[in-house]
Structure 1
């Protein structure tokens, strides 16, 4: 229990009188307690002042509402705080420490980069040495001669013996050292060869597949393939059964296309085109089997051929053997020349004699409308 001034009051029970010794002891206790309270308040005030000093830019700044700690003695700082001074010593120390830390960081980074580079160089050197050491035995395994050559394909114009001879001239290496591109070019150098496929079959076999050209028609000293390309050959006797196309080399694809269109139209009537010519004036003339020549002119070629087919179906199919030539260069009809001394030729000559017309030459060209 304390009085109004904060001093401790000992309780009394009954009417007992206070002992002078006890009263003196109580005063000493109260004085000790007061001193302890004063020290606690002084310590709290000092702690507040220290916190303010650390947060403020100047140690001379003191908030007006806080009590000022006594400056007569050094105050012990709590753990975790560093010494602060108005000259900025702390900042200098921090910069020095940061510089030392940065140097250590770059030094460690440079050393790690050098270590990685050295490790990579050592790895590459070891890898190269390993490959060099292993390549010898591996090369001996794969260095083996070619023991057999398999030639596949349809041989209609080039003989299999000729193909084998071309292949044998180019095989001069081992199984893996053979130059396949050179061998392929050698085979493609033959005009009858269109495509070549080469394959290695383990352990010592070479497979050669040859695709021949497909001649569609004769052209000069060679032939036209399916793309309208002119292929020259040394011996054209094998092409004697093909139709013969003539014209400018620049017009070869167009002439081939015209031949195919005309052949498709006439094939249904049993008529076969054996020759087709296009001169410098773009005038077309074709020859049908049994050597019947048909003049088509320069324009409306397919329309004129349809007109001929109509006349053939109605007038000429039964007497086709007597026909020598046909001219389709008219706008609304066709002219027919008969074979000399044929039945149709004698018939027309006799009919002209009955009407007292001048006797024509052996070959006449009446017009059929």
Structure 2
């Protein structure tokens, strides 16, 4: 009957007006201020306080007004942060997940380098003074790290550890093992490293403390400097 349709229309209209009138209150209830920041990280080199301090100016907005991408970028700008994700968690919190850089060596005098060849610069690297020192042109960091890992693996069975590794602008390589400097030049690096291993076992191991420098930039041999004398050893 017509009166039923009229009643349905009137009820629907009242419901719509009620919902419309409560919209500001509902939105204000949904869009709450941020009350909590949850940070998930290993906290090996970072602290929760450092992260919260960086994010504090950006969490003054309400829930739906947060600039998540800006927050993520602020975190990525922190030297110890390798990767970051930021999410809202209704009704009033932000969840942050961080992956920290894992330093393997120092890079030059003031930086550190990760096992993926990523160079970063914390404020203070004094705690890492015992780490090996790698160096080279900035764009060669990943290549230097790969070479460091390869040489370290080769030297490990010999009980030797790299102290420094440097790639020059021209692409030439040299490293130090304890007190001994080893020059492998630019070409045939792996061949020359294998030659160094053979030479070490055949001639140098028993007199290692007297060795000062080994130069492998020869076609089939190497020169060894020790006790103030330069000797030339044939390839073995």
Class of the TM-score when normalised by the shorter of the 2 chains: 0.7 to 0.9
1:243 aligns with 2:132: yes
In the alignment, structure 2 segments of 5+ residues that lack a partner are 1-15
Could you say if the C-alpha distance between residues 151 and 133 of structure 1 is closer, same or farther in structure 2, counting changes exceeding 3 Å? Answer: same
1: CA distance, partners of 2:32 / 2:170: 63
2: CA distance, partners of 1:307 / 1:297: 13
In the alignment, structure 1 segments of 5+ residues that lack a partner are 1-127, 341-362
Could you say if the C-alpha distance between residues 281 and 145 of structure 1 is closer, same or farther in structure 2, counting changes exceeding 3 Å? Answer: closer
Please list every run of at least 4 consecutive aligned residues from structure 1 whose deviation after the TM superposition is greater than 6 angstroms. Answer: 128-131
With normalisation by structure 1, the TM-score equals: 0.54
CA contact (8 A) 1:157 1:238 kept: no
* Backbone CA RMSD of aligned residues: 2.6
1:261 aligns with 2:150: yes
What is the aligned residue count? Answer: 220
Could you say if the C-alpha distance between residues 337 and 250 of structure 1 is closer, same or farther in structure 2, counting changes exceeding 3 Å? Answer: same
1:276 aligns with 2:165: yes
1: CA distance, partners of 2:17 / 2:200: 86
Deviation at 1:129, TM superposition (A): 7.1
Per-residue CA shift, 1:175-195, capped at 9, x if unaligned?
333322222222122121121
2: CA distance, partners of 1:189 / 1:208: 15
Could you say if the C-alpha distance between residues 238 and 132 of structure 1 is closer, same or farther in structure 2, counting changes exceeding 3 Å? Answer: farther
Deviation at 1:172, TM superposition (A): 0.3
In the alignment, what sits opposite 2:48?
160
In the alignment, what sits opposite 2:38?
150
2: CA distance, partners of 1:131 / 1:248: 65
In the alignment, what sits opposite 2:70?
182
Matches within 5 A, 1:12-51: none
Which residue, 198, 209, 232 being the options, matches 1:310? 198
Could you say if the C-alpha distance between residues 129 and 321 of structure 1 is closer, same or farther in structure 2, counting changes exceeding 3 Å? Answer: farther
In the alignment, what sits opposite 2:102?
214
1:366 aligns with 2:231: yes
Could you say if the C-alpha distance between residues 172 and 231 of structure 1 is closer, same or farther in structure 2, counting changes exceeding 3 Å? Answer: same
Could you say if the C-alpha distance between residues 142 and 325 of structure 1 is closer, same or farther in structure 2, counting changes exceeding 3 Å? Answer: same
Structure having greater relative contact order (Cα 8 Å, sep ≥ 6): 2
1: CA distance, partners of 2:174 / 2:32: 62
1: CA distance, partners of 2:82 / 2:17: 46
SS of residue in 2 equivalent to 1:176: helix
In the alignment, what sits opposite 2:85?
197
The higher radius of gyration belongs to: 1
SS of residue in 2 equivalent to 1:263: helix
CA contact (8 A) 2:33 2:60 kept: no
Greater percentage in strand: 2
Could you say if the C-alpha distance between residues 136 and 332 of structure 1 is closer, same or farther in structure 2, counting changes exceeding 3 Å? Answer: same
With normalisation by structure 2, the TM-score equals: 0.80
CA contact (8 A) 1:259 1:276 kept: yes
Matches within 5 A, 1:125-140: 132-133=20-21, 135-140=23-28
